Structure 1
Amino acid sequence: MAAKQGWRFDSTYDHKDSTGEPIPFVFTLGSGKVISGIESAVRSMQVGGTRRVIIPPSQGYQNTSQEPIPPNFFDRQRLFTTIFNPTRLGNGEGSTLGTLIFDIELISIRH
């Protein structure tokens, strides 16, 4: 998240399978389950490419069911409490509350 109080809330490199290999985030383009900023970025990427994407709130989390979501309950809670903070939204801070920065590496595409 990019803000005065930004922090790293998740990394797929931290999620390992039984052999210790990182488990990539897998999703279906156009499913609506992923925040639109990630969908937009991935559509123009090539396999093997990496990209840093700054996602404004309008293309970020619109609700708490959109992915990617950190697996740890407390990280999820902190993420959504920050983005959907009623007091700060009421103070007109909504334009900055949900700004996200993702470093994306496109591993593969399945058709």
Structure 2
Amino acid sequence: MVVTTRLAIATASVFSVCKTSVHFSEAAAVAAPTPRFTELPESGGVKALDLRLGDGDGVSPVNGDWVAIHYYGRLAAKQGWRFDSTYGHKDETGEPIPFIFVLGSGKVIAGIQAAVRSMKVGGIRRVIIPPSQGYQNMDQEPVPPNYFDRQRLFTTIFNPTRLANGEGSTLGIIIFDIELVSVKRL
């Protein structure tokens, strides 16, 4: 009987705490606007959500600029499976190595280039990249340095059986979190 009473009191206490926090979170949800993805202009359907706006020098990169980014890449078709992240690529001091490329070179998937064009240094953006703006072939970057991750990425996106079954519209959807680290004009 004593155990049952203590359990009932403990349950009531937890419930009242949960009930209070539920009301608080409901009030917070009403007060704060829900962030929404917006389609980037002239991007071929890339959708973006700014997680942090950058200030940098106030200028967004243009074609021909050297751009350094950190990214975290996931596949939508594999329930968000992370296929690569620059935060996992470390130099000899243990610092993450950014991914550096020339904007407009065509060597990097179009969706990343479209996302970076309207960012400022210091900004972080989550982008949903449709297959048409993602990996079109195995020569495009960024690619995971790990052989297993690279093979898994490409066998998911370019899976002939699943493509033949009509799943091509979802296989190549990629989600990237991109941080614009620096821009160097030539």
Q: Same fold (TM over 0.5)?
A: yes
CA distance in 2 between counterparts of 1:21 and 1:6 reads 25
Largest Rg, 1 or 2: 2
Q: Which runs of 4+ in 1 moved over 2 A?
A: 3-6
SS of the residue 2:82 aligns to: coil
The Cα of 1:41 is off from its aligned counterpart by: 0.1
Q: Larger strand proportion, structure 1 or 2? A: 2
Q: Does 1:65 align with 2:65?
A: no
Q: Does 1:87 align with 2:167?
A: no
Name the counterpart of 1:56.
130
State the Cα RMSD in Å: 0.9
CA deviation map 1:15-43 (0-9, x unaligned) = 01111111001011111000000000000
CA distance in 2 between counterparts of 1:6 and 1:96 reads 12
Matching residue within 151, 161, 181 for 1:77 = 151
Q: Which amino acid aligns with 1:64?
A: M
Name the counterpart of 2:82.
8
CA distance in 2 between counterparts of 1:62 and 1:43 reads 20
The Cα of 1:4 is off from its aligned counterpart by: 4.9
Name the counterpart of 2:95.
21
Gap runs ≥5 in structure 1? none
**Percent identity among equivalent residues?**
81
Q: Does 1:38 align with 2:112?
A: yes
Name the counterpart of 1:103.
177
The Cα of 1:2 is off from its aligned counterpart by: 1.0
CA deviation map 1:30-80 (0-9, x unaligned) = 110000000000000000000000001010000001000000001000000
Q: TM-score, normalised by structure 2?
A: 0.58
SS of the residue 1:26 aligns to: strand
SS of the residue 1:22 aligns to: coil
> Greater relative contact order: 1 or 2 (C-alpha under 8 angstroms, separation 6 or more)?
1
Gap runs ≥5 in structure 2? 1-74
Count, aligned residues: 111
